[in-house]
Amino acid sequence: MVVDIICPLYNADKYVENLHKSFEIQKNVEIGNIRYIITKGNDKTEEKVKKLKCKYKVIEPKEFSHSLTREKEAFESNADIIVFVTQDIIIEKENWLENLIKPIEKDEAQACYSRQICANNSMEKYTREKNYPEKSSIVSKDDISRLGLRAFFFSDAASAIKRKIFVELNGYDSKDLPISEDMYFAYKLITNGYKIKYCADSEVIHSHDFTLKQQYKRYYETGRFFKQNAYLNKYKVNSTGGKLAIYILKRAIKEKNWKVIMKWIPNMGARFIGMKMGKLSKI
């Protein structure tokens, strides 16, 4: 199957050259186009992308949308599989893409996402450990009663979708989603009888170390997402948030990661308050 890689870029001159090289070293995969969408910034991203001799376009900041920008590129693609990635992932292995799309080629699943590993000692390290375990798994409609909302977990930081299905389900329904566009589409996939595979053998490094303000903002936007898509609230959470918080604290204590231990209470508070305020905000 032919694969198109779709990657939005913004002030990405420190990322794009190495990222592009990591695409070029992939084995046993037919890449049709690498499609970059550059949001105008204040660095040399466009200058560097020009030298790569690949497909790209430049848009104004007001034109960018986490959902609509990806959706437009996917609809314009003629590939069999579309692969969404973010600019800040690091790909070290030449079989990353092969392992990501293999389940789609074998018709085991219609969408897949990679394992994400955090390379620093921040709270995100333990979050990644919990959310992206060492063992692969497949989720279908039959798992909703067991997993609840977790059945719709999906990440377009590094993901693959059968393009025919993306078009059939009308992508993100032309909605401008500032966050959680991946969950929005995963819900449509699962409830329409398709399957999602988490591919633990398809690894990327994806590292963050959010400030309290950034964490609050992320969860505020997530809260707004759930208010705007209230149908998701009927699915039980299965104490996922609480289990994640306890896991982070236990791992930090075990590793004597004092930085994370000291930040644990204010960080969890920022998440909780941000989510609550987002759900209370006016739409």
As given in the structure block, the two tokens for residue 234 are 């009927």
pLDDT for residue 283: 78
pLDDT at 241 over 90: no
| Residues 222, 51: Cα–Cα separation, whole Å | 37
16 phi and psi, to 5 degrees? -65, -35
How much is the average pLDDT of 168-177?
Answer: 97
Q: In sequence order, what are the residues at sequence separation of 6 or more whose Cβ sits closer than 8 angstroms to the Cβ of residue 241?
A: 271
| Residues 212, 15: Cα–Cα separation, whole Å | 25
How much is the average pLDDT of 153-178?
Answer: 97
pLDDT tens digit string along 59-88? 999 999 999 999 999 999 999 999 999 999
pLDDT interval class at 242 (50, 70, 90): confident
In 3D space, the residue among 117, 81, 84 whose CA is nearest the CA of residue 102 turns out to be 81
In 3D space, the residue among 93, 79, 84 whose CA is nearest the CA of residue 22 turns out to be 93
pLDDT for residue 184: 98
- Give Rg (Cα) of the chain: 19
Domain ranges of the chain: 2-205, 212-280
| Residues 18, 90: Cα–Cα separation, whole Å | 8
pLDDT interval class at 236 (50, 70, 90): confident
CATH number for the region 2-205 comes to: 3.90.550.10
pLDDT interval class at 52 (50, 70, 90): very high
In 3D space, the residue among 83, 80, 109, 81 whose CA is nearest the CA of residue 96 turns out to be 83
Q: Residue 6 in 3-state DSSP?
A: strand
Give the count of beta carbons closer than 10 Å to the beta carbon of residue 130.
Answer: 15
| Residues 49, 164: Cα–Cα separation, whole Å | 28
Distance, CA of 254 to chain centre: 28
pLDDT for residue 239: 61
